Amino acid sequence: MNHYHSIKTIGLLLLVLLSFSCSSNLDFDQVNDFKLEPVFIANLTYFEIPANQFIENGMEQNIAFDAQEFDMFRDSFFRKNLRRADFFFEINNTINRSYSIDIILLDENDQPLYRVHFDVPAYSGTQKLVTRTEIFENATLDLLKRAKRMGFVITMGAGPALNANSPGSLKLRSSATAYLVVE
């Protein structure tokens, strides 16, 4: 009798044990809230101009212009999902002359869309970094998306004459931070 009882109890316990289950409410519609917000960083542009390159045939060149392709937005996925872009610029001048630098975003017809202006003081023995962060959002972002080329205009200010052996250089480095929203 006792033996029978213990079997029954074990059986009952097993039955109870195997009957337990849990469930929770799931809401699969949450997939519609899916939203990716990745933030990517990359180099934007870089140049270093040694002082002696401002001399051509013994004459100072006070203005220099260059433009490069700017094809960041050729990719339609990127163009469509970009919500904000930060461009960070850092200019390090070690030449004993002041400069003004304009970075101009140009559209496909080379018409200027956006201009970033820097006044770079002459080097006087201590490093003076000129930094700037340009934030492109909403209207300015639309301008940025139309940009096809990036132009640089470097104008040298008055000061002591440079020669082929003048020390120092004008250095610019920059990076881009892209904020995407993918829904």
Partner 1 sequence: MRKVFVLFMVLVSVGCLSQNKQILYNFTAVPQSLMTNPGADVSYKFYFGVPLLSGISVNAGSTSFSAYDLFADNGVNYNTKLRDVVHRSSRNDKLAFNEQIELFSGGFKLGDWLENKGYISFGMYQEFDFMMFMPKDIAILALEGNRDYLGKSFNLGDLSLRTEMLSVLHVGFHKNVTEKLILGGRAKIYSSAFNASSTKNSGYVYTIPATNTVYEQVIYSDLQLNTSGISEYIAEGYEGDAVGDIRKKTLFGGDLGLGLI
Q: Is 34 in the site for partner 1 (CB under 8 A)?
A: yes
Strands 129-137 and 82-93: antiparallel
Please report, as residue ranges, which positions from 3 to 32 form the binding site for partner 1 (by CB under 8 A): 7, 10, 14, 24-28, 30-31
Nearer Cβ to partner 1 (39/63): 39
If binding is defined by CB under 8 A, does position 118 make contact with partner 1?
Answer: no
Calculate the alpha carbon distances from 34 to 29, 50, 80, 98 in Å: 10, 50, 17, 51
**Closest to partner 1 by CB, 25 or 124:** 25
**CA–CA separation, 132 and 44 (whole Å):** 14
Judged by beta carbon, residue 7 or residue 63, the one nearer partner 1 is: 7
Separation of alpha carbons 139 and 137, rounded Å: 6
* Distance (Å, whole) CA 132 – CA 183: 31
Q: Which residues bind partner 1 (CB under 8 A)?
A: 7, 10, 14, 24-28, 30-31, 33-44, 46, 48, 88, 90, 173-175, 177-178, 180
